[in-house]
Copies of this chain bind each other. A is one copy, B any other.
Amino acid sequence: MQTLDLERYLRANTHDYAACLAACLECVVACEMCADACLDEDNVQSLARCIRLDRDCAEVCATAARIMARGGPLAIEVCRTCAEACEACAVECERHAAHHDHCRVCAEACRRCAEECRRMSGSASGRTAAR
């Protein structure tokens, strides 16, 4: 298991981003992996929407992670969208979770990330405004 000591990379004003940032990074990896693994399945045609959502979700999570790492002024807005992206991807992946382990694993990563992003965008909205 890899241990990322993300907190040492975060500044004082971004310390409480750490859990959300980690969840976004995990979700990028899970989505990229799932999209790729789907391409090797026999029923790849029935996984087209799953691949599409994996791709979009990876994109949004990567953006959210990078903006949080910066303590960027737009982190709240991006986390809000990221929660929606993860939610949509989780719903689709769960449909295939019984048959494909990569979908099950990806759905779990998406659920965790959606929850963290909702927490971030809900509770932290007053914080970056001052920068």
Residues of A bordering B, CB below 8 Å:
1-11, 14, 18-19, 21-22, 25-26, 28-30, 32-33, 35-37, 39-40, 42, 44-45, 48-49, 51-53, 55-60, 62-63, 65-67, 69-75, 77-78, 80-81, 84-85, 88, 102, 105-106, 109, 131
Contact = CB atoms under 8 A, between A and B. Distances in A.
B30 A2 contact: no
Report copies per complex: 4
Given A39-B51, A62-B62, A81-B81, 12 more contacts: A1-B3, A1-B5, A2-B4, A2-B6, A4-B26, A11-B102, A25-B25, A56-B72, A56-B78, A60-B78, A77-B85, A80-B81
Chief secondary structure at chain A's binding surface = helix
A51 B71 CA distance: 13
A59 B39 CA distance: 18
Given A1-B5, A44-B44, A44-B45, A88 B69 contact: no
Contacts of A22: 2, 4
A37 B11 contact: yes
A60 B59 contact: no
Contact of A70 (B7, B11, B55): B55
Contacts of A39: 48, 51-52
